[in-house]
Amino acid sequence: MTVSSPRRVLSGTGAILMAPVALVARLLDPPLSALQRVGGTNGMAAFFLLPNMAVFGIFVLLPLVINIIYSMTGGTALFLADRTFVGAAQYQRLFDCRSYVDPKSCTEDLFWTAVWNTAGFVVVQVVFMVVVALVTALVLNRDLRARSFWRAVFFFPVLLSPVVVGLIWRWILQRQGLLNFGLYELGLTPVNWLVERNWAFAAAVGVSIWAHVGFYALILLAGLQAIPKDLYEAAEMDGTRPARVFWRITLPLLAPNLLVVLVLVLIRAVQIFDEVYVLTGGGPGTATLYLTQYIYEVGFASFLRNPGLASAASILMGAVLIVLTLFQLGIARRNEMRGKR
Amino acid sequence: MKTKTLLVALAVGLMSSTAAIAGDVRVMWYSDGVEGEVIKDLLDRFMKENPGINVILDDVGYKVVQEQLPVELEAGRGPDIARVTNLKTLADHWLDLTPHIADPAYWQANFGDQFDWMRPDGSKIIPGFMTQLTLTGGFANKTLFEQAGVEIPGADATWDEWVEAAGKVQESQQLNAAIAVDRSGHRISAPIVSYGGNYIGPDRMPAPIDEGVKTFARKLVEWTETGRMNKETWVSAAGTTYRAGIDDFINAQVAYYYSGSWQTAALSGKIGGAFDWVATGSPCGTEACSGLPGGAALVGIKYTQNPEEVGKVMDYLAREDVVREFTERTLFLPAHKGVAAGALDFKTDDTNVKGALDVFVKATGQVHPNANALPAWKWATPIYGVLVTRISQVMAGELSIDDAFARIDEDIKAQVEAAK
Amino acid sequence: MSRITLTDVSRAYGQVKVLHDINLDIQDGELIVFVGPSGCGKSTLLRLIAGLDRPTGGTITINGQDVTRVAAADRGLAMVFQSYALYPHMSVRQNLAFGLENARMPKPEIEQRIAEAARMLEIEPYLDRRPGQLSGGQRQRVAIGRAIVRNPTAFLLDEPLSNLDAELRISTRAELAALHERLSATMIYVTHDQIEAMTLADRIVVLRAGRIEQVGTPLDLYNKPANLFVAGFIGAPRMNFLPVAVFPGGRGATIGIRPQHLRRATDGEPTLKAKVTLIEQLGSETVVHGDADGHRLLAVLPGQQGLKTGEEVALAYGQENLHVFDENGLRTD
């Protein structure tokens, strides 16, 4: 790798600003050239990939392996060295149930409560998120006035920190929050939104959709805009009703994007934590207790902490996510192959 | 932006590690009321008297001390001094101050009664001192009672009588609920003891829950069902998450609030002149009218790099005049025997406060031995967590009360197993 | 019956007028070609007729019925798009059937129409393939097929040959002409290529900057162009234009003569003298670029002439082949 000749960038203010960069480049040239002579171009590739691989290895792979080891230990000590090896005991404990469908019949009833809660949440949220994102994208695709403004408005919540999102909606939905205040002023009976089981669930779903739908709508919007306009004109000439245009033309051509969005939402939904934890804390009771919160509480927040059990639960959750990710990779590859044809 | 976060993380990481620089003493502190300002003031004066020692005060949220400090301690890191409530459970991490303080006998005389709360069973170390003694107890909204024409129950009124009286106020004044209780196993342990409950088995291990626990748990559930107690505080979170009912009391939404003496300063500050309020001690059960003592302590951390400096800071803060000033300004109950025996001039214009603190001091004489044993018992905190998790599930309608009782016993057993 | 009449049709986008007062009468069964340079408004005009766009002024009638406000689907027209606009996720058969299914036609009839169109356009082997699996020419035939199955009042074709390579273009051109014969349907054809216009059209409409310059049969336009623009647009290589003051009173005029109408002069004929600047040998003919008194001149001479650059050449012409245009560019005879 040789550095481009500094002569090319020398002109006016550009030269002054680029001078230190050019100097550094010139200084780096000899050692890097020497390295290339030794390692060849493949060697250079490895040299530049090494830092990132190291970071990935240390901060992703290593903790993953350590986590698996943790899941096979017991005790309350935090350090691996102080823990006792118990084999699959933690997993046995998690799976110790008379009936998997009834959390109350399980030893770790909170784990299974969290599992079924998360399953219910995932199903509902995925359906609604995809539908809302699709509708939003369809609306944003039209020739509205101030279209860019509306797109920014829908995307804005995506930029917010999840804690902020949870807090805002808690202030709106709590017993003495904005919504009840509005209802009271209108003469309607206020509802304790975050304390009624079903409303709390709806709030969890609704808030997380509000916070992220802009992102998925944007993906679908890009897909919609990739559909050639003359297809719609041809359909118009063909006398096609709007509903049929949507079902027979828009939707099939949007299918690859929809699939991507579906899998992304799915993977995200399984890991739901931040907004819900701030919004309801897992309540009322354990109505909105989801897997990630369970793992956090067992591993860190309760007395006494049980890192082994938490690790086991997180490994199980990770297994589900790996399956979903492989599914997503498969789809991505299929889209790629389709594109090449 | 990413670099910025990295740098911040790095800075936080460095901050939370033990100060390796000689002469630096890092104090992790939390505040219920005004203690943060008071301690900062006192430490500033200490640094003037001792120019070689730099004391850095980190005033963090209570949650940080509850949840993050234990993790740091496990990792062998942490501050040099910390203000902690989980004294017994984390006792292995406290520094023995004996070689570093000027006069261990002084410490023993004034703080010795509570040392067992802060050190492992059988140990003789001096880990630190209690910054305040706390006692659980109730607060009543005098103005609301007067407006409703209901007499405030006397010192030997039972829980049922209190709820009935507060209920009358609730109906008359159209309140949201009659009483509020913090979502905390620690808080309800006092009434449990008053109903004859005892967690500690003959072998100092947790015993299966007894009638005392069941009676009061049933009452709590009944009060939420009949609308006397606001469901929200207990039901709006899951697991062991702490939720305080103080906002309802401050906003005059309930007539009676069962919490503890450490809330006095906060109540004074936040209520101001909005209404008159009194402390009422703890309502009676069948066996006693007991509160649960406790408190926060300032302890030295075993992993400090500057134990000598830590000793100097602790000596200063444990001085009688300093403790007196701290107590008078923070409106806490002092743990220092000498200070408690003398006259205290609490720095407040709020007449409610003076009366409240007097009531609490008197109520310390009502503490039942079962309650007194709890702060020194290492299984107390885990049991608090279990109680809160399961009872709130019953209130939310997820478990039947009997299932909850079975679960509580199982959970406690699991905790004991896991700690082996 | 399919007569389409445009009366004072105009289209403006805000302040910008793209079509000005178009008046046109399209006869039943004719193949009429809209031709003109880019941006002249020919595609816009086609879309107005199709109903994909609404005129800002004027009326459009089909067989006497005013369709200016009628939706595109209800005008009974079929359009072949420049990019074919085939539904990429459907097979050819489904593409052809789509419009008919919208009309709730019974299945057997749909099948029959598809079979007929497929036979006509020789796309039977591809009926179950997707458009992505077809070549450009095959796709174009499918696009035409989609229009045919609708039995429309008129066909609208928007630059259908522009995406094909040169050789395919010529063969497809012939096929389109044959198709027009066979179907005897009205076809409105838009192109920028004057050769396509000349070869296919019954009548040509020359458009420039949103106005009709001339309407007429191809030979009409070739022999009697109404103005300088049409004269220069029709015919390749372009007509030679030479400024000459011929009118009494000295008003300016332009004389036009086509390169093909110039020949090597024999003695005694009126001639144009030019200096040869470039010679293009095509074998069957020679294109000679010359300079006559500072004016560029092209001559297409038969065979191989043996001329050299720099040579002086005398070119003769017949009077009947001169076109005279006044100072406004309009024809004067």
Test mutation, A113, A272, A304, A309, chain B, max B CBs within 10 A: A304
Across the interface, whether the CB atoms of A78 and B398 are under 8 A apart is answered no
Model confidence band, residue C249 (pLDDT cutoffs 50, 70, 90): low
Chains that touch A (3 or more CB pairs under 8 A): B, C
For chain A, give the mean pLDDT.
87
Q: Are residues A176 and A222 in the same domain?
A: yes
Q: Are residues A32 and A154 in the same domain?
A: no
Chains B and C lie in contact, requiring 3 or more CB pairs less than 8 Å apart: no
Test mutation, A233, A238, A245, chain C, max C CBs within 10 A: A238
Check residue B19 and give its pLDDT. Answer: 45
The ipTM estimated for the assembled molecules is: 0.84
DSSP character at residue A96: -
Q: Are residues A216 and A328 in the same domain?
A: yes
Check residue B6 and give its pLDDT. Answer: 52
Residues of chain C in contact with residue A228, where contact means CB-CB under 8 angstroms, are 83, 85
For chain B, give the mean pLDDT.
86
Q: Are residues A121 and A248 in the same domain?
A: yes
The mean per-residue pLDDT over the stretch C52-62 comes to: 93
DSSP H or E run through B132: strand B128-141
Q: Return the percentage of chain A with pLDDT > 90, whole number.
A: 48
Check residue C73 and give its pLDDT. Answer: 87
Coil vs helix vs strand at C308:
coil
Q: Is the pTM of this model over 0.80?
A: no
The predicted-structure confidence for B171-180, as pLDDT tens digits, reads as follows: 998 888 999 9
Contacts of B5 (CB under 8 A, 6+ apart): none
Could you say which of A74, A281, A306 has the minimum Cβ distance to residue B236? A281
Residue holding tokens 């052809």?
A: C96
The predicted-structure confidence for C168-222, as pLDDT tens digits, reads as follows: 899 899 999 999 999 889 999 999 998 999 999 999 999 999 999 999 999 999 9
Q: Following DSSP, what letter does each residue of A40-82 receive, concatenated? A: HHHHHHHHHHHHHHHHHIIIIIHHHHHHHHHTTEESS-SSGGG
Taking the Cβ of residue B135 and every Cβ of chain A, the question of whether any pair is shorter than 8 Å is answered with no
Minimal CA separation from C278 to chain A, in Å:
43
Across the interface, whether the CB atoms of C132 and A239 are under 8 A apart is answered no
Across the interface, whether the CB atoms of A109 and B240 are under 8 A apart is answered no
Check residue B420 and give its pLDDT. Answer: 67
Q: Are residues A46 and A157 in the same domain?
A: no
Check residue A114 and give its pLDDT. Answer: 93
Question: What per-residue string of b and e applies to B223-239 under the rule 16 or more CB within 10 Å gives b?
Answer: bbeeebbbbbbbbbbbb
Could you say which of B235, B384, B407 has the minimum Cβ distance to residue A285? B235
Model confidence band, residue B80 (pLDDT cutoffs 50, 70, 90): very high
Indicate whether A129 belongs to any domain.
yes
- First-last CA distance in chain B: 45
Bond prior to B73 in cis (omega within 30° of 0): no
Tell me the two tokens of residue C166: 């040169």
Q: Are residues A171 and A235 in the same domain?
A: yes
Taking the Cβ of residue B409 and every Cβ of chain A, the question of whether any pair is shorter than 8 Å is answered with no
Closest alpha carbon within chain B to A294: B239
Taking the Cβ of residue A288 and every Cβ of chain B, the question of whether any pair is shorter than 8 Å is answered with yes
Check residue A159 and give its pLDDT. Answer: 95
The mean per-residue pLDDT over the stretch B248-254 comes to: 90
The mean per-residue pLDDT over the stretch B219-236 comes to: 89
Residues of chain B in contact with residue A104, where contact means CB-CB under 8 angstroms, are 399, 403
- First-last CA distance in chain C: 37
Indicate whether A74 belongs to any domain.
no
Could you say which of C89, C99, C132 has the minimum Cβ distance to residue A238? C99
Per the DSSP assignment, residues forming a β-bridge with C155 are C78, C187
Across the interface, whether the CB atoms of B74 and A285 are under 8 A apart is answered no
Across the interface, whether the CB atoms of A109 and B418 are under 8 A apart is answered no
Taking the Cβ of residue A339 and every Cβ of chain C, the question of whether any pair is shorter than 8 Å is answered with no
Residues of chain B in contact with residue A288, where contact means CB-CB under 8 angstroms, are 238
Number of domains in chain A: 2
Q: What angle do CA A33, A34, A36 make, to 5 degrees?
A: 65
Q: Show which of residues 145-174 on chain C sit within 8 Å of chain A, judged by CB atoms.
A: 146, 150
Interface size between A and B, measured as CB pairs under 8 A: 104
Minimal CA separation from B220 to chain A, in Å:
15
Q: Are residues A27 and A88 in the same domain?
A: no
Could you say which of B231, B240, B398 has the minimum Cβ distance to residue A301? B240
Model confidence band, residue C306 (pLDDT cutoffs 50, 70, 90): confident
Minimal CA separation from A77 to chain B, in Å:
7
Q: Are residues A23 and A170 in the same domain?
A: no
Q: CATH number of the domain at C4-232, out of 3.40.50.300, 1.10.3720.10, 3.10.20.30, 3.20.20.70?
A: 3.40.50.300
Across the interface, whether the CB atoms of A76 and B235 are under 8 A apart is answered no
Could you say which of A228, A236, A252 has the minimum Cβ distance to residue C83? A228
Taking the Cβ of residue A81 and every Cβ of chain B, the question of whether any pair is shorter than 8 Å is answered with no
Residues of chain C in contact with residue A233, where contact means CB-CB under 8 angstroms, are 52, 79, 81, 85
Q: What secondary structure, in 3-state letters, does A289-317 show?
A: CCHHHHHHHHHHHCCCCCHHHHHHHHHHH
Taking the Cβ of residue A233 and every Cβ of chain C, the question of whether any pair is shorter than 8 Å is answered with yes
Contacts of B240 (CB under 8 A, 6+ apart): A297, A301, A302, A303, B185, B384, B385, B388, B389
Q: Are residues A151 and A97 in the same domain?
A: yes
The mean per-residue pLDDT over the stretch B7-11 comes to: 53
pLDDT of C157 over the 70 cut: yes
The mean per-residue pLDDT over the stretch A296-311 comes to: 82
Residue B300 has φ and ψ, to the nearest 5°, of -90, 145
Test mutation, A102, A303, A309, chain B, max B CBs within 10 A: A303
Q: What residue ranges of chain C are covered by domains with CATH 2.40.50.140? A: 238-325
Q: Are residues A24 and A119 in the same domain?
A: no
Tell me the two tokens of residue C30: 């004719």
Q: Which domain holds residue A22?
A: 6-50
Q: Are residues A31 and A91 in the same domain?
A: no
Model confidence band, residue B145 (pLDDT cutoffs 50, 70, 90): very high
The predicted-structure confidence for C75-129, as pLDDT tens digits, reads as follows: 989 999 999 999 999 999 999 999 999 888 899 999 999 999 999 999 999 899 9
Taking the Cβ of residue B221 and every Cβ of chain A, the question of whether any pair is shorter than 8 Å is answered with no
The mean per-residue pLDDT over the stretch A189-197 comes to: 86
The mean per-residue pLDDT over the stretch A322-336 comes to: 82
Q: Show which of residues 8-37 on chain B sit within 8 Å of chain A, judged by CB atoms.
A: none
Across the beta sheet with C154-158, the strand order is C77-80, C154-158, C186-191, C31-35, C203-208, C211-216
**Cβ atoms C2, C185 nearer than 8 A:** yes
Indicate whether A288 belongs to any domain.
yes
Could you say which of A78, A289, A303 has the minimum Cβ distance to residue B238? A289
Check residue A6 and give its pLDDT. Answer: 55
Closest alpha carbon within chain C to A235: C99
Across the interface, whether the CB atoms of A304 and B382 are under 8 A apart is answered yes
Check residue C244 and give its pLDDT. Answer: 77
Interface size between A and C, measured as CB pairs under 8 A: 58
Taking the Cβ of residue A228 and every Cβ of chain C, the question of whether any pair is shorter than 8 Å is answered with yes
Q: Return the percentage of chain B with pLDDT > 90, whole number.
A: 33
Residues of chain C in contact with residue A238, where contact means CB-CB under 8 angstroms, are 73, 98-99, 102, 146, 150
**Cβ atoms C204, C198 nearer than 8 A:** yes
Across the interface, whether the CB atoms of B418 and A285 are under 8 A apart is answered no
Model confidence band, residue B18 (pLDDT cutoffs 50, 70, 90): very low
Check residue A1 and give its pLDDT. Answer: 45
The mean per-residue pLDDT over the stretch C274-279 comes to: 90
Taking the Cβ of residue A74 and every Cβ of chain B, the question of whether any pair is shorter than 8 Å is answered with yes
Question: For the domain that residue A88 is a member of, what is the CATH number?
Answer: 1.10.3720.10
Model confidence band, residue B20 (pLDDT cutoffs 50, 70, 90): very low
Q: Are residues A103 and A248 in the same domain?
A: yes
Q: Which domains does chain B have, with CATH numbers?
A: 17-133+295-350 (3.40.190.10), 134-293+352-418 (3.40.190.10)
pLDDT of C239 over the 50 cut: yes
Check residue B1 and give its pLDDT. Answer: 43
Indicate whether A298 belongs to any domain.
yes
Taking the Cβ of residue C99 and every Cβ of chain A, the question of whether any pair is shorter than 8 Å is answered with yes
What is the CATH number that goes with domain C238-325?
A: 2.40.50.140
d(CA A6, CA A8): 5
- Report, in angstroms and rounded to the nearest whole number, the Rg of chain C calculated over CA atoms: 24
According to DSSP H, which parts of chain C are helical?
A: 42-50, 92-102, 107-121, 136-148, 166-183, 194-200, 218-223, 228-233
Could you say which of B74, B410, B418 has the minimum Cβ distance to residue A78? B74
Q: What residue ranges of chain C are covered by domains with CATH 3.40.50.300? A: 4-232
pLDDT of A49 over the 60 cut: yes
Taking the Cβ of residue A300 and every Cβ of chain B, the question of whether any pair is shorter than 8 Å is answered with yes
Across the interface, whether the CB atoms of A239 and C99 are under 8 A apart is answered yes
Across the interface, whether the CB atoms of B238 and A288 are under 8 A apart is answered yes
Minimal CA separation from B368 to chain A, in Å:
25
Check residue C245 and give its pLDDT. Answer: 61
Check residue A65 and give its pLDDT. Answer: 92
